[in-house]
Amino acid sequence: MFRRERSIPLRGSAAALCNNLSVLQQRNLTHFGVVHGPSAQLLSAAPEGVPLAQRQLHAKEGAGVSSPLITQVHWCVLPDRVLLVLASHRGIQMYESDGSVMVYWHALDSGDASLVQAVFARGIAASGHFICVELLTPDTSHRHCHEPAQGQLLSAAEDTFVHIWKLSRSPESGYIEVEHCHGACVPDTQVCGARFCDPSGSSFAVTGYDLAEILRFSSM
């Protein structure tokens, strides 16, 4: 069973995007990243959800060009460093984990691409020494956000529900089995991001479209 904990206010509401929440645990602090639109909001909180610093990050562009809309913000934990990755319709930008310095920039080639079949970047993940970013045309759509922790899976959808599932392997058949552990309704909220906040899966955070706060839950 999970109960609601104190929410963390955001300066801007969360955009209606898939996987619109990234969480990074560093020492005693928890960092959250949420896309608002043309900016990503980064904030850090102490235990018990006490908010500390908050900053907005815009995907940098050339002079005279408006900021593109960000499609995802995600911390990538690599063996020797942590990078903050911003994906947008114009490309991919990587920053130091606190968003202070940009270390890499890859622009999507929009020269030849016809406007009608737009390509955009989304789906950021770290694997070993690599950072993977998916380049998509909008034919892949999914509404659930998944995050594994200790054999548990967290899913959230626009139907206002967040679910926690337990994954296990059957000793007899060897097949993967799924069991539903807990469901929580976030009233009148189109959930767009959900992440566990610790490796044991005893707490998680949720964002919702148009909601200017990060909701927190912890197990009782």
Partner 1 sequence: MSVRTLPLLFLNLGGEMLYILDQRLRAQNIPGDKARKVLNDIISTMFNRKFMEELFKPQELYSKKALRTVYDRLAHASIMRLNQASMDKLYDLMTMAFKYQVLLCPRPRDVLLVTFNHLDAIKGFIQDSPTILHQVDETFRQLTETYGGLSAGEFQMIRQTLLSFFQDLHIRVSIFLKDRVQNSNGRFVLPVSGPVPWGTEVPGLIRMFNRKGEEVRKAEFKHGGNYVAAPKEGSFELYGDRVLKLGTNMYSVNRPVETHMSGASKNLASQTQESIAPNPLAKEELNLLARLMGGMEIKKPSGPEPGFRLNLFTTDEEEEQAALTRPEELSYEVINIQATQDQQRNEELAQIMGEFEVMDQPRRITSKGDDLLAMMDEL
Site residues (CB under 8 A) for partner 1? 10-13, 15-17, 36-37, 64-66, 69, 89, 115-116, 118, 138-141, 159-161, 173, 175-180, 183-185, 187-190, 209-210, 212
Contact call for residues 24 and 43 (beta carbons, < 8 A): no
- The CB-side HSE value for 137 (13 A sphere, CA atoms) comes to 6
| Choice between 96 and 177, CB closer to partner 1 | 177
Helix (H, G, I), strand (E, B) or coil at 142: coil
Q: How far apart are alpha carbons 178 and 187 in whole angstroms?
A: 26
**Choice between 24 and 204, CB closer to partner 1:** 204
Least Å distance, CB 174 to partner 1, is: 10
Q: How far is CA 162 from CA 2, 97, 144, 178, 214, in A?
A: 11, 28, 9, 16, 14
Q: Quick one: 115 or 220, whose CB is closer to partner 1? A: 115
Smallest separation, CB 30 to partner 1 (Å): 21
Contact 3, 215 (CB under 8 A): no
By C-beta, is 76 or 162 nearer to partner 1? 162
Do the beta carbons of residue 49 and residue 216 sit within 8 Å? yes
> Quick one: DSSP state of residue 182?
E
Rounded least distance, CB 212 to partner 1, Å: 4
Name the minimum Å distance from CB 64 to partner 1. 6
**Cβ proximity to partner 1, 63 vs 101, nearer residue:** 63
Question: Residue 47 Cβ, how far from partner 1 at the closest point, in Å?
Answer: 25
